Amino acid sequence: MTPANWQKSSYSDGGDGNDCVELGSAAATLHLRESDDPGAVLATAPAPVARFLHAIRAGTPGIVASITARAGRAC
């Protein structure tokens, strides 16, 4: 079951606004999807997403580079 409400990044206000990841939750599952392809949804437990976000904030080598490799993207 996918969530009824999705949260889009605050960074997606500029440009066309469809180049970001949206996050939704249902029960004990987090759902992620791209704004420009809402039919493709990735479901996961909260812990892996928390570890991923921690790695980004901590500047773990390779994490930030792989995210920012797509130049010209709003997110």
Q: What is the mean pLDDT of the chain?
A: 77
How sure is the predictor about 11, in pLDDT bands with cuts at 50, 70 and 90?
low
Dig out the tokens for 47 from the structure: 């812990």
Contact between residue 51 and residue 60 where contact means Cβ atoms under 8 Å apart? no
What count of Cα atoms within 13 Å lies in the side-chain half-sphere of residue 75? 16
Dig out the tokens for 23 from the structure: 């996050």
pLDDT of 44 reads: 92
Longest dimension (CA), the chain: 35
**Neighbouring-strand partners of residue 23:** 7, 32
Residues 32-45 have pLDDT tens digits of 888 888 888 999 99
Dig out the tokens for 53 from the structure: 């976000």
Say whether pTM exceeds 0.75.
no
DSSP classification of residue 54: H
